[in-house]
Amino acid sequence: MRRVQNPPNPFESDHVEWDADGEPPPDLLLEVYEEEAKSALAENDSPDVGFRWSLNPYRGCYHACAYCYARSSHQYLGFGAGTDFERKIVVKTNVAARLRETFEKKSWRGETIAFSGNTDCYQPLEARYALTRTCLELCLEYRNPVGIITKSALVKRDVELLAALAREARSSVTMSIAWSDDDDARRLEPTVTPPSVRFEVMRRLHEAGVPVGVGVAPVIPGLNDMQIPAILERARESGARHAFMTLIRLSGQTLPVFDERLGEAFPQRADKVRNAIREMRGGEMNDTRFGARMSGSGARWKAIEQLFDTHVKRLGYDTRRGEPPPTTFRRPRAQLDLF
């Protein structure tokens, strides 16, 4: 990795990412490291997530969500899982070139690529580096299906590109929204676009013809579970067609970071939240077993599932499951190939 001596201000761009009711963007205190990736895609074999291939142009995330399960992965780079994860961001400068190499391999079958399988592909530095956009342009060129998960309003910069992908291949954007209340969200998601803005971004994507959905993630029992109906209702009004929900996952060093910030943000409710999580995790704060990492057990979790399912059905979300349609993937060829 090469440290950038004068890192760019991620909020100075033609595309404004920070939008918080007139509040100024947070202090930067940012270190940027550039690296050349060996490959563009990461392969996933966990049943807890619904994708096989993911693309992550950035390591670490400026959004600073206290509960982010990706925090521990930053330790593999020699950084910490706390403030290092939020302010020491690694940029994979050649990720688009590596993606093109993947598309040109005979072994590539055009499966859906999930953008943001680990950290947000539309975090503020994307406004300067545009790696996500470049990779999406490649997906359009090759007509490769795409699924995006993000918390960021910056996704609206690419609305026309995503609409073209939706027409030519398959694309969808899922906005991750854990709160319906902006003030509650700010306490544990300090530098993320407020939920109220995310709903408006969702509406703009929907009106442009981009399929949109909502991820109620993470559910933190005793803190945001009662906001599930409001999240689902506002998302449906904004055009969301699909929805999913996950329980908070406190693996590795995410647990001490979350625990400390929970106590600071919600001091009177912190013990109640901890006890509720243990109730759903068999007495522990985390469950590392495949198939159990994103969901819970026990009567309280089943009540949350029922609450979610009831409102998903009431609001008319698409709950159909089945085999994915055939891929739209095509390798572009030079005009001479026609003769």
DSSP 269-315: THHHHHHHHHHHTTTSS---STTTTT---SHHHHHHHHHHHHHHHHH
E strand or H helix at 216: strand 212-219
The Cα 96–Cα 304 span in angstroms is 40
- Mean pLDDT, residues 119-126: 94
Q: Answer yes or no: is 72 within a domain.
A: yes
pLDDT single digits (tens) 300-318: 999 999 999 999 999 999 9
Q: Answer yes or no: is 15 within a domain.
A: no
Q: Answer yes or no: is 8 within a domain.
A: no
Greater model confidence, 335 or 178:
178
Who contacts 93 (Cβ-Cβ below 8 Å, separation ≥6)? 34, 35, 36, 129, 131
Q: Answer yes or no: is 329 within a domain.
A: no
Domain tally, the chain: 1
User: What's the domain range around 312?
Assistant: 28-317
Nearest to 220 by CA among 191, 261, 192: 261
The answer to whether residues 73 and 85 touch, using CB atoms and an 8 Å cutoff, is no
Q: Answer yes or no: is 70 within a domain.
A: yes
CATH number of the domain where residue 62 is located: 3.20.20.70
Which CA distances in Å does 48 have to 52, 149, 213, 266, 326? 11, 15, 18, 29, 23
Residue whose token pair is 């521990």: 72
pLDDT of residue 312: 97
Rounded to the nearest 5°, which phi and psi values hold at 155? -60, -25
The Cα 53–Cα 115 span in angstroms is 9
pLDDT single digits (tens) 252-289: 999 999 999 999 999 999 999 999 999 999 999 998 88
Q: Check pLDDT > 80 for residue 292.
A: no
pLDDT single digits (tens) 32-87: 999 999 999 999 876 666 778 999 999 999 999 999 999 999 999 999 999 999 99
Q: Answer yes or no: is 57 within a domain.
A: yes
- Name the strands in the sheet holding 41-43, side by side, starting at the edge strand that comes first in the sequence: 41-43, 53-55, 113-115, 146-150, 171-176, 212-219, 242-247
Q: Answer yes or no: is 234 within a domain.
A: yes
Q: Answer yes or no: is 59 within a domain.
A: yes
- Mean pLDDT, residues 235-241: 98
Strand 31-35 versus strand 88-92 pairing type: parallel
